[in-house]
Chain A
């Protein structure tokens, strides 16, 4: 009996050691590749989306030939995955019937997460008022009475 236990215990210990090994065999492996997708939303300054507008993407190494072309969806959205091996300024042009804009996105270590153009309503109002005041001032200057 004693002899039997002496044989059994090391065997059980050995089995315990084997259990984690078995668990390792069921481990998971994750391979990953980072794909940076650029999502753009193109709208007219009225807030109306540029649905169906054409998108032309230029890579930094060849600013004259398009790297990718596409079309915005009905909500003016377009997504693409740039080639991260080409760091620099990527240019994205959105165009519809001669209207549109060009945005330059820097791809590299210091890539901005979001960005965009356009002004807030307040900024537009302030600029418009300043502009109008300039014209009114000119009018007042030239309509002053001669001394």
Chain B
């Protein structure tokens, strides 16, 4: 789901950077309002490392293969740290592995980063229900993971469909985009289950890690 350099018009790339800049500013402002925000940096850094390498873990979904994104998990566990974490992870993925590009970094951050804020809000909703219930954590963990990646796929598809260049066969490309979106359906479920398992596990062994959110 990383859009490479040269695949989007300059206006879209600039708009992506503008939204990313605004989201980063908002996230950092929220982080600054927290007391002892430095305590959360190690957790954010380790989850950024996980996000950075997870794009190499491919899950075969014939005829394509998709990779885990983990943005829902980052949203659930990191809160406002998640957007800057994803931005940093994407930057290193683009520079080192050519996953995505530097001109499209803003757009990719919007695709994968904006839904994490939504995932965070969803996961925070669990506190409205009974506290410390494993079932509640599991359900909201699943929803956070599920919604995070699902919204990313929708954003990815919409941005690509609205920016198909006239040079190529539009119908073939549209069909390819729909096929890729379809291949992500199992991934959406996998990410939901994975996020639920991780959050339930952490609540059991180290609930403090979830308390920050």
Interface positions of A (Cβ within 8 A of B): 44-46, 48, 52, 54, 56, 65-66, 69, 71, 93, 95-102, 117, 119, 124, 127-128, 131-132, 135-136, 138-140, 142-143
Contact = CB atoms under 8 A, between A and B. Distances in A.
A132 B89 CA distance: 10
Contacts of B201: none
Contacts of A131: 49, 52-53, 92, 96
A52 B172 CA distance: 9
10 closest cross-chain pairs (CB), A and B: A135-B49, A139-B42, A97-B176, A142-B41, A139-B45, A97-B180, A143-B42, A98-B160, A138-B45, A54-B168
7 contacts: A69-B167, A95-B168, A97-B176, A97-B179, A131-B52, A131-B53, A139-B46
A65 B165 CA distance: 11
Interface of B: 2-7, 38, 41-43, 45-46, 48-49, 52-53, 56, 58, 65, 92, 96-99, 156, 160, 167-169, 172-173, 176-177, 179-180
A69 B168 CA distance: 7
Given A54-B173, A56-B168, A127-B97, A98 B42 contact: no
Given A95-B173, A132-B52, A100 B160 contact: no
Contacts of A97: 160, 173, 176-177, 179-180
B176 A96 contact: yes
B65 A48 contact: yes
A63 B154 CA distance: 32
A124 B3 CA distance: 20
A48 B59 CA distance: 13
Contact of A98 (B52, B65, B98, B156): B156
Nearest to B58: A46
Q: Which secondary structure dominates chain A's binding surface?
A: mixed
B53 A128 contact: yes
Nearest to B85: A135
Nearest to B40: A142
Given A95-B173, A135-B46, 19 more contacts: A45-B97, A46-B65, A54-B168, A69-B169, A95-B7, A96-B173, A98-B3, A98-B7, A98-B160, A98-B177, A99-B2, A100-B7, A102-B5, A128-B96, A132-B53, A135-B48, A138-B42, A139-B42, A142-B41
B167 A66 contact: yes
Contact of B56 (A128, A138, A142): A128
Contacts of B180: 97-99
A108 to B, nearest CB: 23
Contacts of B173: 54, 95-97
A124 to B, nearest CB: 7
A116 B115 CA distance: 35
Contacts of B97: 45, 119, 124, 127
Contacts of B58: 46
Contact of A142 (B3, B42, B168, B169): B42
B180 to A, nearest CB: 4
B38 A136 contact: no
Contacts of B160: 97-98
B59 to A, nearest CB: 11
